[in-house]
Amino acid sequence: MQNNITYREKDKGIQFIISYKDATGKWKQKSKQGFKSKREAKAAADKTLEELRKEVIEYEDLNQEYKGITFKEFKDMYLEHERLYREENTIEMKQYALKKFETLDKLRIEDIKNIHIQKCVDMMVKDKLSLQTIKNYLSMLKSLFNSAIDEFSILKTSPVKKIKLPELKAKTEKRALTKIEFEDLLSKIENYKLYVVTLIAGSCGLRIGEILGLTLADFDDINMTLTIRQQYKRVAVKAKHGVGTLKSANSYRKVPISERMCETLLNYIDKYPKNIDGRIFRFTNTSSLGSRLSSLYSLLGYDISIHELRHTYATLLLSNNRDLKTVAKLMGHSVQQTMKTYSHVTDEMMAKAAETIRDLF
């Protein structure tokens, strides 16, 4: 690396000035002052020069094909690469998250610093996004920069570090209905299709995608079970929803149903024709159905989502002394996940167990 070092007296001390050619061939300068002697300045200059040499070597090791690529250009390339290995709903989540960093689009990716990302986060805080949402968006941004480092060799370090985040607020417990509240909600739903979907969510614990993914083959009215083997979701670019894999290996399960649920499904199947793809329910979009149900529940006096009916199912089971392992299996969870999600219920169970122990012993 071409360089030249000069020393001079400045402000009652010694200053060194390093003139050097960077990896692009441009002359630059690096200086520092305040040294008591030339010997002290020379030692510091030599150390700085060694660091500059390392920077030049590291830059030369980077993939020069992408030199000067903008954040937007790399973002598009990254998402296209991810699409080969991820499901479309995951890609859509990444796209949505990365839109929160659009102010970076015109910057060269190597020029993006911590302060640029902090400004994006500050805007999210002003927009009152939750702490967890911001963390999720930052995690997806970090994955993008990690890809630039590990897979494309465009960068050496990630600028997603030392980002200031808002303080964690008190966690709000998920809303679970009591048995009486659930029955009251059901009694107020006049639309039969929405009634059946609500009944399945609250009395079988299925996710909305799992409900819409049910086929006639999944419904065993003799043994009174539902087999969960697929879900309805986005499966391709710019395509409508379709059936696809479940959330995790634990999600593949068989769920027992009540006589009431069995009779309701038989009645529904008899009343409405099945889909061409064999699905029992003909709804075509999980998001719009979820929003529709949330609005309906709110109008009926219950400020909940359909997913909270799944929590109602688990809470009622745990409160009626079903063991954690069984509930986890019915929910498609791990035992650890169930314990974490329903810690408030397990605390109540422990309190009841304590009472039992005192009575017995």
Q: Is a pLDDT exceeding 80 seen at residue 143?
A: yes
For residues 146 and 243, membership in a common domain is answered with no
Q: Alpha helix locations (H) across 285-342?
A: 286-299, 306-319, 324-331, 335-341
Q: What are phi and psi of 147, to 5 degrees?
A: -65, -40
CA atoms within 13 A on the CB side of 228: 29
For residues 184 and 315, membership in a common domain is answered with yes
| Two tokens, residue 227 | 């087999």
For residues 185 and 326, membership in a common domain is answered with yes
- End-to-end C-alpha distance for the chain, whole angstroms: 82
For residues 326 and 248, membership in a common domain is answered with yes
For residues 226 and 114, membership in a common domain is answered with no
Query: Measured between alpha carbons, how far is 217 from 200 in angstroms, rounded to an integer?
Result: 17
For residues 335 and 299, membership in a common domain is answered with yes
Answer for the pair 186, 143: CB distance below 8 angstroms, yes or no. Answer: no
For residue 144, what is the enclosing H or E element? helix 131-150
**Three-class DSSP category at 198:** helix
- Evaluate whether residue 241 is within a structural domain: yes
pLDDT tens readout for residues 308-345:
998 888 888 887 877 778 888 888 877 776 666 665 55
Q: How many domains does the chain have?
A: 3
- Evaluate whether residue 161 is within a structural domain: no
| Two tokens, residue 84 | 């080969």
pTM over 0.85: no
- Evaluate whether residue 294 is within a structural domain: yes
- Evaluate whether residue 156 is within a structural domain: no
| Two tokens, residue 291 | 């929003």
CATH of the domain at 90: 1.10.150
For residues 22 and 94, membership in a common domain is answered with no
Query: Measured between alpha carbons, how far is 285 from 212 in angstroms, rounded to an integer?
Result: 9
Greater confidence (99 vs 133) lies with 99
Q: Is a pLDDT exceeding 90 seen at residue 208?
A: yes
Least Cα distance to 148 among 89, 98, 100, 99 occurs for 98
| Two tokens, residue 22 | 């960077």
Q: Provide the residue range defining the domain that includes 250.
A: 179-355
For residues 324 and 222, membership in a common domain is answered with yes
- The DSSP-derived string for 214-236 is -BGGGEETTTTEEEE--EEEE-S
For residues 258 and 321, membership in a common domain is answered with yes
Determine what percent of the chain is predicted with pLDDT higher than 70.
86
**Candidate from 51-60, 124-133, 283-292 with smallest mean pLDDT:** 51-60
- Evaluate whether residue 247 is within a structural domain: yes
Q: Can you tell me the mean pLDDT for 335-356?
A: 62
Greater confidence (273 vs 355) lies with 273
For residues 272 and 186, membership in a common domain is answered with yes
pLDDT tens readout for residues 20-53:
887 667 888 889 999 999 999 999 999 999 888 8
Most confident of 79-88, 193-202, 282-291, 348-357: 193-202
Determine what percent of the chain is predicted with pLDDT higher than 90.
48
Q: Hey, what's the torsion of the CAs at 72, 130, 308, 196, to 10 degrees?
A: -40
Domain stop point among 61, 81, 100: 61
Q: Is a pLDDT exceeding 60 seen at residue 165?
A: yes
**How are beta strands 241-244 and 231-234 bridged, if at all?**
antiparallel
Residue indicated by tokens 């122990």? 357
For residues 207 and 320, membership in a common domain is answered with yes
Q: How far is CA 348 from CA 175, 182, 343, 353, in A?
A: 16, 21, 9, 9
- Evaluate whether residue 173 is within a structural domain: no
Greater confidence (350 vs 146) lies with 146
Hey, which bits of the chain come out as E strands?
3-10, 13-21, 27-35, 219-220, 225-228, 231-234, 241-244, 253-256
pLDDT tens readout for residues 225-273:
999 999 988 776 555 678 888 888 889 999 999 999 999 999 999 998 7
- Evaluate whether residue 361 is within a structural domain: no
Using the CB atoms, write b or e for 151-174: b if 16+ within 10 Å: ebebbeebbbeebeeeeeeeeeeb
For residues 48 and 79, membership in a common domain is answered with no
Q: Is a pLDDT exceeding 60 seen at residue 350?
A: no
